Structure 1
Amino acid sequence: MDARTRVHASAATPFCRLGMLATGLLLLGGAIYGWHAAGAAAPAGDRLAVALAEDVCIVRPGAPFPGAVHPYDPASGLEMLAARPVPALARCAVCGMYPARQPQWAAQVIVASGDAWFFDSPVDMLLFIADSSRFTEGQGAGEIAARYVTDYAGGGWVPAAQAWFVHGSTANGPMRGPDLPAFAQRKDAETFARARGGEVLGFDALDGGIAELLRYGHGHHGHSMPAPVAG
């Protein structure tokens, strides 16, 4: 390379670098603008979904997830043991998902102190009821005073003891695996079972072998709950 070529190359290099930098800044600015525009366009209640686009299940027995327990608020006008709306930021006490995102599966328990614990599905509620100490380390849940599931047919909250559940259907719950769609009316559960398969069971039947299957055989996004260690 002669002297003239070297001078030309050295002079051009800073301009090339500036061009690349400007292009990068434009691309970054466009991405930031798009992200903000998406957040601004979404209703206030949906902006969290822009920031947290995917609901991730984390199997983590131990201390409660932040946002898992919700004290009773007398100003709500509800009786202390009445079913409550699922807060947008409430997290499932078992897996950490957001029950408000799939309300047709949501469940809740209310303990004697008035605290409410929400769940993304009846399966996780049953896991919690079976052994709440696994998910409330360092805090404890207290005595369970009320249990509610959502009527999959759209009828709102129903006491779990009065609900009908379809076990073994083809319907996948929020954790993308087998679950227990719940119904306020047995006829609705039977109609669902005819269409999607499965067996209609009352709440009292969800124990013994079925409870063991739900506790240890139900995968959470590909992860299984650990079985108890033989003593």
Structure 2
Amino acid sequence: MIAVIASLLLFADGQSVRDIDLFNNELCIVAPATPYDPATDPPMYAPRPVPADARCPVCGMYPARYPRWAAQTIFRDGAAHYFDSPVNLFDFLHTVDRYDRRYSLDDVAASYVRDYSSGQWIEAEHAFFVHGSDVTGPMRNADLPVFSSRNAADGFARQHRGSVLTAADMTPRLLASLSRNRRHRH
């Protein structure tokens, strides 16, 4: 079945899926954003529980399996993407159309991250992130533990090393040093 579908897909340059190695990250299919359902979801721009079947548009992992690290972005139309880590959230926000061509950064209404200690959702722009700690994230490498207060982040950084940053500090260069998705192309 996959071979039949692959033979029908053509790239803009006329190359077909058959002409490429499907296991070298040349082809990536990203699940669309989860649409807003006013009957079951909280208010449109409020944080939502992460659906068990949601896939991170950056790395393909299942964010619900890593609730301590989960993040989400909600678009103006109410649709949401869920992420397995703050690193992937910020990577997405720097290049939204790379991961989902239906949206741009201007379409983002809100982004949320989870407080590492309490599990509560926090607006990403109001959160404090610890960079360079000895705590590993869902991909078993460096990540950005999140805290709702500067004092909590400072205490974590004293105990686990690292420095405290804000959302404004999340540059593409910093994220590249943390991401395992550098070779992954969409």
Q: Quote the Cα distance in structure 1 between the aligned partners of 2:49 and 2:24.
A: 24
2:30 to 65, 71, 75: 65
Q: Could you tell me the TM-score, scaled by structure 2's length?
A: 0.78
Q: Residue 212 of structure 1 is aligned with which of 160, 168, 173?
A: 173
Displacement after TM superposition at 1:121 (Å): 0.2
SS of structure 1 residue aligned to 2:129: strand
After TM superposition, list the pairs within 5 Å mapping 1:92-111 onto structure 2.
92-111=56-75
Q: Identity across aligned pairs (percent)?
A: 44
SS of match in other structure, 1:90: coil
Q: Please give the alpha-carbon distance, in whole angstroms, between the structure 1 residues aligned to 2:51 and 2:93.
A: 21
- The structural deviation recorded for 1:133 is 1.2
Please tell me whether residue 165 in structure 1 is matched to residue 97 in structure 2: no
1:63/1:135 contact within 8 Å kept: no
Alignment of 1:44-83 (within 5 A): 65-66=30-31, 68-76=32-40, 78-83=42-47
Taking the aligned partners of 1:64 and 1:133, their CA distance within structure 2 comes to: 14
Query: What residue is the counterpart of 1:175 in the other structure?
Result: 139
Contact 1:217 1:224 in 2 (8 A): no
Letter in 1 for 2:107: E
Q: 1:59 & 1:110 partners in 2: Cα distance?
A: 30
Q: Report the AA paired with residue 213 of structure 1.
A: L
The amino acid that maps onto 2:174 is L
**Secondary structure of the equivalent of 1:188?**
helix
Q: How far off is 1:185 after superposition?
A: 1.6
Quote the offset at 1:69 in angstroms: 1.6
Structure in which a larger fraction of residues adopt helix: 1
* Number of the residue aligned with 1:133: 97
Q: CA deviation at 1:140?
A: 3.6
TM-score (norm 1): 0.64
Distance in 1, matches of 2:154 and 2:97, equals 35
- Partner residue of 1:224? 182
Amino acid in structure 2 at the alignment position of 1:218 = L
Distance 1:61 1:172 in 2: 28
| CA separation of 1:135 and 1:62: change in aligned 2, threshold 3 A | farther
Inter-CA distance 64–146: structure 2 relative to 1 (3 Å threshold): farther
**Residue 194 of structure 1, aligned match among 155, 158, 163:** 158
Deviations 1:80-104 (A, max 9, x none): 0000000011110100000001100
Match of 2:81 among 105, 108, 117: 117
1:64, 1:136 within 8 Å by CA — same for their partners in 2? Answer: no
For 1:60 and 1:158, locate their aligned partners in 2 and report how far apart those are by CA, in whole Å.
33
CA distance in 2, matches of 1:177, 1:134: 23
Please give the root-mean-square deviation of Cα atoms over the aligned residues, in Å: 2.4
Q: Is the 8 A contact 1:59 1:225 kept in 2?
A: no
Question: What is the alpha-carbon distance in structure 1 between the residues aligned to residue 124 and residue 131 of structure 2?
Answer: 15
Greater relative CO (CA pairs within 8 A, separation 6+) = 2
* Runs of 4+ displaced beyond 4 Å: 58-64
Counterpart contact for 2:63–2:83, Cα < 8 Å: yes
> Which consecutive residues of structure 1, in runs of 5 or more, have no partner in the other structure?
1-57
Shift of the 61–213 alpha-carbon distance from structure 1 to 2, 3 Å rule, reads: farther
